[in-house]
Amino acid sequence: MPNTKSAKKDLLTSERNRVRNQSVRSRVKTLRVKAQAAIATDAAASINEVQAALKALDTAATKGIIHKNTAARRKSRLVKRLNAAQA
């Protein structure tokens, strides 16, 4: 438990950020899984799902919730999978 007044405030801030980050990470993961499932079933119709996942990854990286290189790697793998399915 925090001992000082500023440490107590920092604990509240950390908890608020943890909850926000957790929801964003969950949303990114959900959209990524949906996009992969859409690619597996119908590659031509999955473009909207992939675009939504890419946008969510960019937003999370911009907010600093995930690292920018992590977002870039996941985007690259998703687009590579889409292109392979369309070919």
CATH of the domain at 33: 1.20.58.110
Q: What is the pTM of this model?
A: 0.86
60 contacts 47 by C-beta, under 8 angstroms = no
Within 10 angstroms of residue 61's Cβ, the number of other Cβ atoms is: 19
pLDDT at 29: 97
How many domains does the chain contain in total? 1
Return the pLDDT at 44: 81
Q: Which residue has the tokens 């290189």?
A: 69
Q: Decide: 67 and 21 in contact? Cβ < 8 Å.
A: no
Phi and psi for 8 in degrees, rounded to 5?
-65, -40
**pLDDT tens per residue, the chain (87 residues)?**
889 999 999 999 999 999 999 999 999 999 999 999 999 998 888 999 999 999 999 999 999 999 999 999 999 999 999 999 988
Expressed in percent and rounded to 5, the helix, strand and coil fractions of the chain are 85, 0, 15
